[in-house]
């Protein structure tokens, strides 16, 4: 897409004399042309993936009370990180194939364009808060594995066993069902099974199949400053050390304070290979509406997935889902999934609610 052409088309279609006008949202440098005119309602607005209704409510209240947007989104997702009922994030998240919970998280602060992230972090409740410490207290962007765990301890985050009893049981069920040729006996293979075990599945774990649940949260304040974060326990039963898209700046999360923020949930490998969040922000910059930008990027992901046969059904559709979320600097937001039925959470002057995501396929 020709960005300059689209930008001119965007400004023309908005019917706004944007250049140099009061109400310009983009902060252009000396002699440059501002990229955006204010068309949306403005902030504060907070959005998140569908599992974040309490997160957007908390973050919105914080922003209304004057908190920085980065502090607000990290605090908001902290509710879900601490909730054992969500088996895709934080405590109670499904573990890797060894039964160890490894967390990925990232945060980006629009006004300074600083980012922080952690990958494969163990034994720590609030991965997004550790990512924020990376952003605030180091000259680095990403710290992973044992280094991330030690970094968290250095900052006073207490050690915590992140495997809930329910997540352990779901993992064990997966392990027992893995193969009829190993030494782990599932319920149907046992010679004696007096307990008749029934494992209750939690949110983010509809079956013992692989799952990719995550929370993304983005916020814009009344002055148009934007921040976002993404936090997850990642792909269930992953190979130990696997890092998904969530901690990768530009993949699972990205902010450009002159444009807005974007994030992703779903199959991280596909999002990484398409620089998903970065692509959504650039698509918004070129003039696409937030939901249109999400659809545009998802279409690209679906197209590329056809190059890997095992990822695509006979109908040419991906066998996996990805959901992209976008929040523009002027408060306009959108989201899209590969398939219908997904919702995302919003908090703004109208209250908090869930909104249907657009979809690429019917």
Applying CB under 6 A, the residues found at the interface with ligand GLY are 212, 214, 232, 234-235, 244-246, 252, 265-266, 268
Nearer to ligand GLY (CB atom), residue 246 or residue 352: 246
Of 246 and 335, the one with the shorter C-beta distance to ligand GLY is 246
Within 108-164, residue ranges assigned H as helices are: 127-137, 145-154
CB of 98 to ligand GLY, least distance (A): 17
Residue 150, phi-psi category: left (phi > 0), alpha (psi -120 to 50), beta (remainder): alpha
Query: Across-strand partners of 346?
Result: 47, 353
Query: Both tokens of residue 357?
Result: 């995501």
Least separation in angstroms between CB 191 and ligand GLY: 38
**Residues 6+ away with beta carbon under 8 Å from 347:** 45, 46, 47, 56, 57, 59, 60
| Cβ-count burial 146-176 (b if 16+ within 10 Å, e if not) | eebbebbeeeebeeeebbbebbbbbbbbbbb
- Residue corresponding to tokens 């499904």: 94
If the CB atoms of residues 120 and 163 are measured against ligand GLY, the closer one turns out to be: 120
> One of 69, 124, 211, 232 is an active-site residue; which one?
211
Task: Identify the residue whose tokens are 């088996």.
Answer: 87
A 10 A CB-CB count for 331 gives 22
Residue with tokens 């991906």: 318
Least distance (Å) between residue 196 CB and ligand GLY: 34
d(CA 215, CA 64): 22
Q: How far is the CB of 269 from ligand GLY (least distance, A)?
A: 7
Does the annotation count 312 as an active-site position?
no
Alpha-carbon distance of 300 to 86, in angstroms, equals 30
Query: Considering beta carbons, is residue 37 or 117 the nearer one to ligand GLY?
Result: 117
Q: How far is the CB of 102 from ligand GLY (least distance, A)?
A: 10
Whether the bond between 44 and the residue before it is cis, its omega within 30 degrees of 0, is yes
Helix, strand or coil, per DSSP, at residue 138: coil
- The residue (of 25 and 217) whose beta carbon lies closer to ligand GLY is 217
CA distances from 79 to 44, 165, 235, 335, 354 (A): 20, 19, 20, 22, 17
Q: Which is nearer to ligand GLY, 213 or 287 (CB)?
A: 213
Shortest Å distance, C-beta 244 to ligand GLY: 2
As annotated, the active-site residues are 211
């Amino acid at each position: 897409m020709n960005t300059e052409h689209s930008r001119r088309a965007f400004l023309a279609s908005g019917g706004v004399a944007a250049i140099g006008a009061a109400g310009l949202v983009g902060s252009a440098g000396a002699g440059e042309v501002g990229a955006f005119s204010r068309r949306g309602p403005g902030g504060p607005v907070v959005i998140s993936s569908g599992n974040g209704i309490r997160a957007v409510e908390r973050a919105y209240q914080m922003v209304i009370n004057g908190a920085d947007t980065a502090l607000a989104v990290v605090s908001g997702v902290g509710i879900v990180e601490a909730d054992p009922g969500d088996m895709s994030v934080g405590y109670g998240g499904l573990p890797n194939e060894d039964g160890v919970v490894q967390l990925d998280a990232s945060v980006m602060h629009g006004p300074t364009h600083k980012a922080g992230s952690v990958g494969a972090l163990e034994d720590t409740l609030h991965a997004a808060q550790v990512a924020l410490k990376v952003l605030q207290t180091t000259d680095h962007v990403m710290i992973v594995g044992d280094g991330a765990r030690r970094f968290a301890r250095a900052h006073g985050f207490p050690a915590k066993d992140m495997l809930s009893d329910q997540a352990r049981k779901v993992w064990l069920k997966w392990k027992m069902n893995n193969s009829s040729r190993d030494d782990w006996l599932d319920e149907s293979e046992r010679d004696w099974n007096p307990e008749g075990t029934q494992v209750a599945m939690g949110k983010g774990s509809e079956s013992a199949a692989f799952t990719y649940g995550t929370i993304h949260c983005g916020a814009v304040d009344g002055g148009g400053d934007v921040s976002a974060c993404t936090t997850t326990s990642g792909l269930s039963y992953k190979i130990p050390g696997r890092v998904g898209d969530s901690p990768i700046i530009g993949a699972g999360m990205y902010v450009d304070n002159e444009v807005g923020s974007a994030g992703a949930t779903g199959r991280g490998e596909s999002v990484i290979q398409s620089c998903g969040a970065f692509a959504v922000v650039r698509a918004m910059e070129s003039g696409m509406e937030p939901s249109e930008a999400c659809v545009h990027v998802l279409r690209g992901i679906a197209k590329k997935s056809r190059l890997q046969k095992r990822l695509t059904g006979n109908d040419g559709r991906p066998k996996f889902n990805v959901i992209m979320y976008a929040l523009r600097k002027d408060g306009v937001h959108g989201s899209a999934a590969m398939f219908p039925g997904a919702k995302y959470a919003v908090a703004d002057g109208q209250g908090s609610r869930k909104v249907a995501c657009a979809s690429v396929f019917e």
